[in-house]
Amino acid sequence: MTCIGQFLAIERLGSVSNPADMKALVSNLDPITGLEISPDPSERDVMVQLKMDEFDNPLLDANGNPVEWQLLKIVAPPAPIGGSSKQLYWKLTVRR
């Protein structure tokens, strides 16, 4: 599960950032198994967004592979977000 949005002006205040940068919250749990995703994301990775149908299922091509919607480059070290006992999300800074 992913949520992508723009940084607020107050979040950019006092930092050097590219106006094209966006923030993404990515679930740390696999949607099928419910287990933590491994390995942890790094800034050398790319976030792949898939095309989804009206029921939030990935659209498949003729070979049965998910169709990519866009690739977003991770441009800063990912930050873990969650409670004291369990990490829930990764906060990523991404760019098209």
Total-model pTM = 0.78
CA–CA gap between residue 68 and residue 6 (Å, rounded): 21
Phi, psi of 9 (to 5 degrees): -60, -40
Which range (33-37, 48-52, 54-58, 89-93) has the least confidence? Answer: 33-37
Query: What local confidence, expressed as pLDDT, does residue 86 receive?
Result: 75
Provide the residue ranges of all domains of the chain, joining segments of one domain with +. Answer: 2-95
Residues 6+ apart with CB under 8 A from 61: 67
Q: How far apart are CA 92 and CA 74, in angstroms?
A: 7
Contact 25, 87 (CB under 8 A): no
Percent residues over pLDDT 70 in the chain: 97
